[in-house]
Amino acid sequence: MFLFISILLFGLSHPSDTRAHLAKNYIHEYRQIAVVEMYRSGIPASITLAQALHESNLGTSDLATYANNHFGIKCKTYWTGGTYYHKDDDTDHSGRLIESCFRSYSTVIDSYVDHSNFLQNSENYSELFQLRRDDYKSWAYGLKKAGYATDPMYALKLIAIVEKYDLARYDSDANPLRMVRTITR
């Protein structure tokens, strides 16, 4: 009986343990590019990481796995790069869910760079760049207000991720050259 209860308890706790492990590994792998992009673009590393963790399901979503798209960025009419089709929230004229066109990248780093460029070059997000780099809450609410996601809880989810994994520590004035040297090794 004790063995059965132990197996049951381990089985119930395992998925959250696995998610925590995946999140920790994801953050460890991509935190440096998030910091480099913060210095290049002004987007808080905490927000970049929170969005990537959320949008890519800790790097395990089909979009992340098959298209290296860690931010859920759709093609848009001007996109000339690679594409990947996946059902999301687009519907046809009769309301049926259809495949959406998402951007596809050669590498995950390309996805991070394009995420920064996408936000920087879109009029919708221009107000965000007036915010302080260490104000992740305003950035989260601003992204939602500007239309980054349709989920009404998007800002709160990003804030929860930043706080759960203490991602705001990456928004500090760390030495960006050290980060760049580390990333190129």
Residue 100 lies in a domain: yes
pLDDT single digits (tens) 92-104: 888 888 889 999 9
- The pLDDT assigned to 143 comes to 98
Residue 111 lies in a domain: yes
- The pLDDT assigned to 185 comes to 43
Interval 29-48 mean pLDDT: 97
Evaluate if pTM is beyond 0.85: no
Do 86 and 63 contact (CB within 8 A), yes or no? Answer: yes
Residue 9 lies in a domain: no
Residue 16 lies in a domain: no
- Number of domains present in the structure of the chain: 1
Residue 1 lies in a domain: no
- The pLDDT assigned to 131 comes to 96
The strand pairing partners of 127, in sequence order, are none
- The pLDDT assigned to 173 comes to 67
Structure tokens at 180: 């760049």
| 22 half-sphere exposure, CB direction, 13 A CA radius | 15
- The pLDDT assigned to 93 comes to 87
d(CA 62, CA 5): 34
Task: Return the H-helix or E-strand segment holding 89.
Answer: strand 82-91
CATH at residue 151: 1.10.530.10
Asked if residue 8 has pLDDT above 60, the reply is no
Interval 28-55 mean pLDDT: 97
Residue 7 lies in a domain: no
Structure tokens at 154: 């998007």
Range of the domain at 118: 24-183
